[in-house]
Structure 1
Amino acid sequence: MHIAVILPRWVGDAVMATPLLRAVKSHFGDGARITGVMRPVVADLLAGTGWIDAHVFYDRHGRDPAHHFGNAARALRLDRADVTLVLPNSLSSAALAWAGGGRRRIGHAGHRRRWLLTDVVRPVREEAIVPPPVAFMELAAAIGVPAGPLDVELATDADQRARADELLAGLFPDRSGPLVILNDNSSNGTARSWGVDNHAALSRWLADREPGVRVLVHCGPADREQARAIVMRAATPAVRGLGDVAELPLGLSKALYERADVSVSSDSGPRHIAAGFRVPTVALLGPTDPRIGRSDPERCVEIRRDLACSPCDRGECPLRHHDCMRLIGVEEVGAAALGMLRPSTSGPALRTG
């Protein structure tokens, strides 16, 4: 059997698709060839897992025309999949499955796309919002794959791990304590940001209370200035960042998170990368619905404010007060992170404030 899987566009959602990929590969083994249809960055994210045998790059918003809809559809037609699992709940994803010639095209209802699918899967659960790992696994059930564990999972290679070790040794030459990674970046706008001042204050708070702690400010290529600003305002050798690291491939981020003891993150891709390596995480949730992004509920403390305007799921605060993030206190976040570093204290639990 040849199975094509159209994967989510966003890094966090792609991480939440890993239980499905693992279950499909485990069920069919060498009896199936699995083609991942995805953005190049998602291919980097999933590299090393061993669940995907081939790939078709698809990024309709990307700069490379080779990855646009028409070329991806042609590549899929040449690939001749028996089954196409359509994970994103979008019209364009279903259209790609149809244009790619998949004999069976399986996806959830929505966005007026039923006619593009041969098999429309209705949610088994009655909740209005079904966690993505559960929703994705429902699609696998349509081809006979039994429900498996919902733990998300990622992998690294030896070169990535060696580069991460080298980088950490250079950034923290005189420190060997626990590693806490901070992330305040999101490709969805500023509404999810907790801000430079709060992260700098949190860094100092942790450095004052945890001997030898290493606080690493994570960033991508577009977020270097923010990372530098946090490190500068923290003004302690316990805090270093990736702002001045020349190359920032996703594989390096994965290997760094694999080494982390605790992660503090906005509701963005790095939160889910941390989950992929079972790193205890403090998730700062402002405008987003917590039910949508729970990739590792057993190891995650969610901190949010239960406001009348939240969750709005906007990229920018429509009321311009940003209270859903502004009202989250440094000490509350620090105490949650410290509790994870010292497991004798109470474990992760949902916090709404």
Structure 2
Amino acid sequence: MKILIIGPSWVGDMVMSQSLFISLKKRHPNALIDVLAPAWCKPILERMPEVNQAIEMPIGHGSFNLKGRYQLGKSLREAKYTHSIIMPNSAKSALIPLFAKIPVRTGWKGESRYGLLNDIRTNKKDFGLVIERYCSLAYPKAAMTHGDQIPELPYPKLVVDDAVQASAMARLSLDTKRPVIGMCPGAEFGPSKRWPEQYFAKVATHFIQQGYQVWLFGSQKDEAVTQSIVEHVTPEHQQHCHSLAGKTNLIEAVDLIAACKTVVSNDSGLMHIAAAVSCNVVAVYGSTSPDYTPPLSKTVEIVHTDIDCRPCFKRECPYQHLKCLKELPPEQVIAAINRFTH
């Protein structure tokens, strides 16, 4: 078998997709798995032993570009793929495997993709977790009528590169003389996923006083948030609170997160990375729900409020109060971390 995967575009979804790749390799040990995905995904995919190669998707996310998709599909014909699995739900994402003339094209119905897919799955609602929806695509359609029929749900496990980790730590003047608590206070999805930075700062101050240090992770977009957390930490403890947002690339973040004993994270891509490198994870949920995309690890504490309006799955609070986050006190997260440290 030679399989072309049309991969997702979000960090967390790409990390979770490794569960599908593991399932495929367990069923077909000699299969070659190539993944077509955005350029930023390549370093992540290179940390997945199941992936033969990552192919850069040259067409921007959201762009239809029929001509470009046809040309890309045509160029892939010479690879002679036998199967394709299309993970996104859009009709346009299913065009490239069709143009590549791949004989078996598997995926969920999505945007009524009859004709584009010839192994089309229509019972997505029978699989509650995203990981179930992914892994079920590794098995024959007739055997997959419900989530509990999936033989195994393997968790993602990214390979950590010790040399890259050591190089990044040296460049950023970091060490692990104090045990590290990682914090991921950003969320690309929107403000309804972001626990207040003052609360992160209270948790950081508490554990720095206990002998820990704190590393704050995020993209350039998160620099203002991570710097605000540093500034909210009591002055005498700020030397042990390091803002790394915008100072690392994604793959360095993977290796540095792996050096953390415990990671506190909003529901975000970095949360899934922390789980995939075997950290203890305290997952903070606001508008979203762990019933759909929980961190995939055996050492997880999930914290959230139980107010009536959550989960609403909105990017911004419909009521403008953000109570699902503001009413989740730092003490609750501190208690969750202590369940790992004691």
* TM-score grouping bracket, smaller chain normalisation: 0.7 to 0.9
What are the Cα deviations for residues 171-198 of structure 1, in whole angstroms up to 9, with x where unaligned? 45xx723211011111111111112211
Are 1:140 and 2:100 matched, yes or no? Answer: no
Q: Could you tell me which amino acid in structure 1 is paired with residue 256 of structure 2?
A: L
Are 1:300 and 2:303 matched, yes or no? Answer: no
Aligned residue pairs, count: 329
Q: Could you tell me which amino acid in structure 2 is paired with residue 132 of structure 1?
A: V
Structure 2 unmatched runs, 5+: 145-149
| Cα pair 1:123 1:138 within 8 Å, conserved | no
| Cα pair 1:283 1:300 within 8 Å, conserved | yes
Correspondence for 2:8 = 8
> How many percent of aligned residue pairs carry the same amino acid?
23
What are the Cα deviations for residues 20-78 of structure 1, in whole angstroms up to 9, with x where unaligned? 2123234433x332211111222211213222222322253289x9xx64554344334
Q: Could you tell me which amino acid in structure 1 is paired with residue 199 of structure 2?
A: N
Per the alignment, in what secondary structure is the counterpart of residue 85 of structure 1?
Answer: strand
What are the Cα deviations for residues 87-130 of structure 1, in whole angstroms up to 9, with x where unaligned? 22332322333233221100122321233110113448x75x52
Q: Could you tell me which amino acid in structure 2 is paired with residue 240 of structure 1?
A: H
| Cα pair 1:23 1:147 within 8 Å, conserved | no
Q: Could you tell me which amino acid in structure 2 is paired with residue 105 of structure 1?
A: R
Whole-angstrom distance in 1 between the partners of 2:13 and 2:140: 20
> Which of 154, 160, 165 is matched with 2:164 structurally?
160
Correspondence for 1:320 = 320
Cα gap change, 1:69 to 1:221, in 2 (>3 Å): farther
Correspondence for 1:232 = 231
Correspondence for 1:101 = 101
Correspondence for 1:346 = none
Correspondence for 1:242 = 244
Whole-angstrom distance in 2 between the partners of 1:239 and 1:309: 34
Cα gap change, 1:135 to 1:62, in 2 (>3 Å): closer
Whole-angstrom distance in 1 between the partners of 2:338 and 2:75: 49
Whole-angstrom distance in 1 between the partners of 2:259 and 2:204: 18
Per the alignment, in what secondary structure is the counterpart of residue 116 of structure 1?
Answer: coil
Per the alignment, in what secondary structure is the counterpart of residue 228 of structure 2?
Answer: helix
Correspondence for 1:351 = none
What pairs with 1:160-199 in structure 2 (closer than 5 Å)? 160-167=164-171, 170-171=173-174, 176-199=177-200
| Cα pair 1:185 1:219 within 8 Å, conserved | yes
Correspondence for 1:36 = 35
| Cα pair 1:121 1:138 within 8 Å, conserved | no
| Cα pair 1:123 1:135 within 8 Å, conserved | no
Cα offset for 1:136? 1.1
Cα gap change, 1:91 to 1:167, in 2 (>3 Å): same
Cα gap change, 1:313 to 1:78, in 2 (>3 Å): farther
Whole-angstrom distance in 2 between the partners of 1:249 and 1:319: 36
Whole-angstrom distance in 2 between the partners of 1:297 and 1:50: 19
Cα gap change, 1:310 to 1:96, in 2 (>3 Å): farther
Cα offset for 1:16? 0.9
Structure 1 unmatched runs, 5+: 343-353
